[in-house]
């Protein structure tokens, strides 16, 4: 029996997901840690997030770390040092978010569009012959349109406008007070007045906006649908770089934003139907850490120094 195991770690703006699989590809352990986007998170916190997620996965799997002989990462700034600290004898492989998104959707050929919308957002198109074009992923100050961060921020702004009488009434006013534990919505401003953007804090309000939209709040519905419009525009813009109107190709939707459901997906579906009627939407349902582990098991040769360029919610950019 082959008693070697493979570890996959996916890092992002709000959480870090680690999964261990056996030689047959079956998941045997999983763990979660905190944020690990090194562009917005101190290195010590990134290290702690990786350590926590991997340790939890090892405990869940009930194996000796020395039996993990392969490891793969996405946002892997601290991967080597954490693996060494935990006694894992593996040199990490590196994978970009497009490859991970397609693996999560169960698609082997890297041909189509990968739209990732979690804490941040970015999009890429691949034509199947090696061409890889990306857009978005500028970070919370300049972009990340359609992301959980942008939905949370827009929801808070609309609540403040409603409180001042400059916007329509919305249950988001009460939601902001609950979320930030303040008696008046304006007091939430003080929670956000920092020199550093708190991506996870703002992204964490997105589920509150989604819940309000589900209850029929018109302002929240507008915020969520606007996010879908932005994501749809990004998807169709990139699709046109590689495909014609009659081409068939998958559009993989990955990330927590799409858990909101049709309110955010329908605008993407509509825009695709108008311009690329033969495109099909495929949801990425596999855990991201498991997808990284599976890629690592199949491509153990993928070792390189991770790039330092910024790439939104996760990852080091790569030519998938």
pLDDT digits (tens, 9 = 90+) for 53-65: 999 999 999 999 9
Structure confidence at residue 9 (pLDDT): 94
The answer, yes or no, to whether residue 1 has pLDDT greater than 60, is no
| More confident site: 166 or 35 | 166
Which tokens in the block code for residue 84? 């060494």
Please tell me the distance from the alpha carbon of residue 2 to that of residue 7, in angstroms, as a whole number.
15
2 contacts: CB under 8 Å, gap ≥ 6: 22, 23
CA atoms within 13 A on the CB side of 167: 19
Structure confidence at residue 286 (pLDDT): 96
pLDDT digits (tens, 9 = 90+) for 118-139: 999 999 999 988 889 999 888 8
pLDDT digits (tens, 9 = 90+) for 12-58: 888 899 999 999 999 999 999 988 877 777 788 889 999 999 999 99
CB 116 within 8 A of CB 122: yes
Quote the percentage of the chain above a pLDDT of 70: 92
Structure confidence at residue 195 (pLDDT): 56
With 0-12 / 13-18 / 19 or more C-beta atoms within 10 angstroms meaning exposed / middle / buried, residue 44 is: exposed
Alpha-carbon dihedral angle through residues 141, 143, 149, 155, given to the nearest 10 degrees: 90
Lowest mean pLDDT among 77-91, 145-159, 260-274: 77-91
Q: Averaged over 275-283, what is the pLDDT?
A: 97
Structure confidence at residue 313 (pLDDT): 40
pLDDT digits (tens, 9 = 90+) for 75-97: 767 888 999 999 999 888 889 88
Three-class SS of residue 117?
strand
The answer, yes or no, to whether residue 308 has pLDDT greater than 50, is no
Structure confidence at residue 148 (pLDDT): 96
Please tell me the distance from the alpha carbon of residue 139 to that of residue 121, in angstroms, as a whole number.
8
- pTM (2 d.p.): 0.85
Structure confidence at residue 306 (pLDDT): 44
The answer, yes or no, to whether residue 311 has pLDDT greater than 50, is no
The CATH class of the 109-141+225-283 domain is: alpha beta
What residue spans define the domains of the chain? 5-98+286-298, 109-141+225-283, 151-210
Structure confidence at residue 40 (pLDDT): 72
Structure confidence at residue 128 (pLDDT): 86
Average pLDDT, the chain: 89
Q: Averaged over 92-103, what is the pLDDT?
A: 91
| More confident site: 251 or 319 | 251
The owner of tokens 């990139």 is 238
Lowest mean pLDDT among 13-17, 76-80, 150-154, 298-302: 298-302
Which tokens in the block code for residue 199? 């991506």
Q: H/E element holding 282?
A: strand 280-283
Q: 5-98+286-298 and 109-141+225-283 share one CATH topology?
A: yes
Per-residue pLDDT band for 320 (boundaries 50, 70, 90) equals very low
Which CATH code for domain 5-98+286-298?
3.30.420.40
Q: Averaged over 173-201, what is the pLDDT?
A: 89
pLDDT digits (tens, 9 = 90+) for 240-255: 999 999 999 999 999 9
With the C-alpha atoms ordered 222, 224, 227, 229, is the resulting torsion angle positive or negative? Answer: negative
Q: Averaged over 287-294, what is the pLDDT?
A: 95
């Amino acid at each position: 029996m082959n008693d070697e195991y493979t570890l996959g770690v996916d890092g992002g703006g709000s959480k870090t997901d680690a999964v261990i699989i056996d030689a047959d590809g079956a998941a045997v352990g999983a763990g979660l840690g905190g944020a690990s986007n090194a562009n917005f998170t101190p290195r010590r916190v990134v290290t702690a997030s990786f350590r926590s997620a991997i340790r939890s996965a090892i405990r869940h799997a009930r194996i000796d770390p020395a039996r993990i002989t392969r490891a793969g990462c996405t946002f892997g700034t601290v991967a080597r040092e954490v693996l060494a600290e935990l006694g894992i004898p593996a040199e990490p492989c590196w994978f970009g978010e497009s490859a991970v998104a397609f693996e999560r959707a169960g698609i082997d050929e890297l041909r189509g569009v990968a739209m990732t919308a979690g804490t941040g957002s970015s999009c890429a198109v691949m034509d199947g012959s090696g061409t890889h074009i990306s857009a978005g992923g500028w970070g919370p100050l300049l972009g990340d349109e359609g992301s959980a961060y942008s939905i949370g921020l827009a929801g808070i702004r609309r609540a403040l406008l409603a409180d001042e009488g400059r916007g329509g009434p919305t249950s988001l006013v009460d939601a902001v007070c609950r979320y930030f534990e303040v008696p008046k919505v304006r007091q939430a401003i003080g929670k956000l007045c920092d020199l550093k953007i708190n991506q996870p804090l703002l992204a964490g309000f997105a589920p509150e906006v989604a819940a309000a939209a589900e209850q029929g709040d018109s302002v929240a519905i507008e915020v969520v649908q606007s996010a879908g419009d932005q994501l749809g525009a990004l998807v169709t813009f990139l699709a046109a770089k590689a495909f014609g109107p009659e081409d068939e190709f998958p559009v993989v939707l990955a990330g927590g934003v799409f858990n909101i459901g049709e309110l955010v997906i329908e605008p993407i579906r509509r825009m695709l139907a108008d311009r690329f009627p033969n495109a099909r939407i495929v949801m990425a349902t596999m855990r991201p850490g498991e997808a990284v582990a599976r890629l690592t098991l199949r491509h153990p040769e993928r070792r390189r120094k991770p790039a330092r360029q910024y790439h939104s919610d996760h990852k080091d950019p790569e030519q998938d």
